[in-house]
Amino acid sequence: MTRTLLLATALAFFCKAALAGMPTEETVTCPVGGEEFTVVGTLSCSTMGRTMSFKPVSSCDFVTRLPICPSNGLPLYQEFSDQQVDRLEGLLDSEEYQEIAALSPWRRAYRISVFLEGSGTPTGFNLLLNGYWYDEAFLGEAEALDDLLAEAATERSRAPAADRPFLDAILAYALFRAGRTQDAEAMLNTARSATDIPDFLDAYIDRIEACVANPEADGCAPDAPLDF
């Protein structure tokens, strides 16, 4: 069964009732070249919390989040149209793709999405957010955080007002992890200035501010659970 990667909704803040994930083995066909390979899927999954990076904690963290064609390295972040496949065939044969292929998988997927659709799309933002959450090398790559910030600015403009301070807080923590303390503090001030923010977000902002003041404190690592 061909698997379509469903991008996680970036600002889904409410947890569902926990359902134990059930792993399945699924066959994926690469749209360019026709190569078949196996990934891990699931029959059920639920979100059970968040970490300091605001990454969801789920009952199916074992799944293959971004299938990658083994031979050509094409990330299958969505189901491509016939027209897009035609364009991808040309891209994969180009010198430009050699540069793209050298990037980490989520950034590679982002660059391909820009090639196909341009920048400023929800897809591009979600790909970079997932890269930040699930790729330890993300913040170490040149331009990765700047790409995320640029896409987030567009995402923020179309997000409901109630979601914007959550996005600001997530970005503030990313800036803190990248060592950009002043930018993190400015982003936290923006998040805090929103009206009627929920108690959970207020506590999250407090936690980030404490980490900025004392980066080595317990509970400041990206995978540290948010337990309030």
What 8-state DSSP symbol labels residue 155? H
Residue 93's pLDDT is 95
pLDDT in the model for residue 2: 32
Helices 105-117 and 144-158: angle between axes, nearest 10 degrees: 50
Q: Report whether 33 contacts 71 (CB < 8 A).
A: yes
Residue 17 has pLDDT above 80, yes or no: no
Residue 136 confidence class, pLDDT cut points 50, 70, 90: confident
34 lies in some domain: no
> What pLDDT is stored for residue 102 in this prediction?
94
pLDDT of residue 9: 36
**DSSP result, 111-142:** HHHHHHH-SS-HHHHHHHHHHHHH-TTGGGST
Structural domain count, the chain: 1
As a whole number of angstroms, the distance between CA 192 and CA 45 comes to 32
Mean pLDDT score of the chain, rounded to an integer?
89
Rg (CA), the chain: 18
Q: How far apart are the first and last CA of the chain?
A: 40
Q: CA torsion, points 105, 111, 113, 118, in degrees to nearest 10?
A: 160
Q: How far apart are CA 99 and CA 33, in angstroms?
A: 20
pLDDT tops 90 at residue 16: no
Identify whether 165 is part of a domain: yes
Per residue in 22-71, pLDDT (tens digit) is 889 999 999 999 999 999 998 888 888 999 999 999 888 999 999 999 99
Cβ(66)–Cβ(108) below 8 Å: no
Mean pLDDT of 144-157: 96
Quick one: residue 73, left, alpha or beta (phi over 0 = left, psi -120 to 50 = alpha)? left
Q: For residue 54, is it within any domain? A: no
124 within a domain of the structure (yes/no): no
Distance CA 112, CA 117 (A): 8
The average pLDDT across 111-130 equals: 97
Residue 187 belongs to some domain of the structure: yes
| Identity at 68, one-letter amino acid code | I
Residue 195 lies in a domain: yes
pLDDT tens readout for residues 183-206: 999 999 999 999 889 999 999 999
Q: How big is the CA angle at 222 (ends 23 and 39), to the nearest 5 degrees?
A: 25
Whether the predicted pLDDT of 141 surpasses 80: yes
Give the predicted TM-score (pTM) of the model.
0.88
Work out the percent of the chain whose per-residue pLDDT is above 90.
78
Question: Residue 51 domain-assigned?
Answer: no
Residue 207 in this model has a pLDDT that exceeds 90: yes
pLDDT above 50: residue 15: no
129 occurs within a structural domain: no
Q: Which domain holds residue 189?
A: 160-214
